Amino acid sequence: MKAKYDLVVIGAGPAGTPAAMAAAQFGKSVLLIDKREAPGGECLFEGCIPSKVLENAANRYDEVLRAKQFHIDESSVQIHWEEVLKDKEEIVAKRSKGALMQFERLPTLEFVQGNAVFDDAHTLLVDGTPVQFDKALIATGAKTSFPPIEGNGMDKVWTNRDVFFEKELPEEILFIGAGAISCELAQMFNKLGVKTHILERGERILKRVGEEAALAVQNKMIEKGIGIDLNVQLERVDYEEGRFSVLFNRNGESETLLSSHVLMATGRVANVDGLNLEKAGVAYDRHGVTVNEQLQSTQAHIYACGDCIDAPKFAHTATYEAGIVIHNMFAPMKHAVNYDKNSWVLFSDPQVAVAGLDEAVAKARGMEVTTAKYDFVQDARAQLDKAAEGFVKFIMDAKTKVIIGVEVVSEDAASLSGEAALIVANKMTTMDVMKAIHPHPTLTESFGRLAQQVFFQSMMRPKRG
């Protein structure tokens, strides 16, 4: 480590790593610091990548078990969990090694393992060693937010930091919370034959997902035997003789569920404790570091992005923000973040892909919107795949027909997420979408069909006056 850098970046996840690399490409001297010995962040080690490796294996196993419908004998299929875990380790190691090799090509970038805390507005202490900086980026991510629940089991429950390291599949697992993390993992374990149950305080699962899409996932879970208890208040989590005893309250009545494993996924809270942000004069609250729309903190030369700010918590959103930060730090023109074009995929069954604004959010902002839906039941590709459930929905500005949001529910919604993101980011109208010639038979035809449907309906509608 040198005594001074143009930029110090705290956290080497999907926010910090691309930011550090971009600044080094600009020729700036950059110190990238992470508590872990390798770059990648929560996304690589305990988030996106491990969850998707395991889910991928579970989905393929499940597909083979369902292959009977394509006249394939599935009778002797087995899954070797320990080999799946080895695959996960290999992919994680390959990706972090790949990042380190990219760093080597950037002579002004230095990566160090260590704990960074602020000493003042221009000094960090990295494992106690002072380092001066001109600019800093806080990209420290988030962790599971634990509700204040009593019981001797609370320090034994799993979070995403434990679940991907178990050598053996659990017999049963109880998820607390029904957000994206729980739903993806519950369906994965269910496909592998693990008895799975979810407790949720809200009246439905996936509160950040449109209601129709969330219900499609909820119904599939129920059909596959995942237990779901909604509208419950968690009261205690105890652990005795190798089993958790989870006490909850529903409509004033106490109930107990027993399970060998409990996974807590009750929301995420920014990793800002212990950074000594007060010493740097950087404001924060329980949602994370306070930033303006250029991602500057209350100290103009210190920026923050990724899961440690109050914004959508996705790896690609963190990377998008990193681009904005580096631009705003070092280029003359300043850019503001625009989450109205954010997109994401829930790797559930069926999958849900979203781009842009949700209907409820648009209406809450006072926008006049109209929606149109294409049902996959009529779709050639979906029929061929024997997966004719789900839909594509456009959320449009009622007057201009600009598509401000797209929602897809399908076994393969992820494959449509790129087009959905492009439509929204480019503020395309249904006419624009109609100009593309979508290949047959693919699920992407649904976009063209839906655009045509909207166009012909508007032609047939009697004109006013």
Ligand X SMILES: Cc1cc2nc3c(=O)[nH]c(=O)nc-3n(C[C@H](O)[C@H](O)[C@H](O)COP(=O)(O)OP(=O)(O)OC[C@H]3O[C@@H](n4cnc5c(N)ncnc54)[C@H](O)[C@@H]3O)c2cc1C
| Residue number with CB closer to ligand X (42 or 349) | 42
Q: Which residues of 188-226 are buried (b: 16+ CB within 10 A; e: fewer)?
A: bbbbbebbbbbbbbeebbbeebbeebbebbbebbeeeeb
| Residue number with CB closer to ligand X (116 or 205) | 116
As measured in angstroms, the least distance from the Cβ of 108 to ligand X is 20
As measured in angstroms, the least distance from the Cβ of 38 to ligand X is 9
| Residue number with CB closer to ligand X (14 or 448) | 14
As measured in angstroms, the least distance from the Cβ of 34 to ligand X is 4
As measured in angstroms, the least distance from the Cβ of 194 to ligand X is 16
As measured in angstroms, the least distance from the Cβ of 183 to ligand X is 11
**Of all helices (H) and strands (E), which one includes residue 409?**
strand 403-410
As measured in angstroms, the least distance from the Cβ of 431 to ligand X is 31
As measured in angstroms, the least distance from the Cβ of 453 to ligand X is 31
Residue tagged 């629940």 (tokens): 149
**Which token pair is 322?**
């990193």
State how far the Cα of 156 lies from the Cα of 227, in Å rounded to an integer.
22
CA angle at 401 for the pair 293 and 211, rounded to the nearest 5°: 70
Binding site residues, ligand X, CB under 6 A = 10-16, 33-36, 41-43, 47-48, 51-52, 115-116, 139-141, 160, 181, 271, 275, 306-307, 313-316, 318, 347
The dihedral built from the CA positions of residue 402, 404, 410 and 411, taken in this order, carries a sign that is positive
Sort 250 into a burial class: Cβ within 10 Å, 0-12 / 13-18 / 19+.
middle
Amino acid at 311: A
User: What is each CA distance from 279 to 132, 310, 359, in whole angstroms?
Assistant: 14, 21, 42
| Residue number with CB closer to ligand X (11 or 210) | 11
State how far the Cα of 392 lies from the Cα of 157, in Å rounded to an integer.
38
| Residue number with CB closer to ligand X (33 or 192) | 33
**Which token pair is 108?**
């002004």
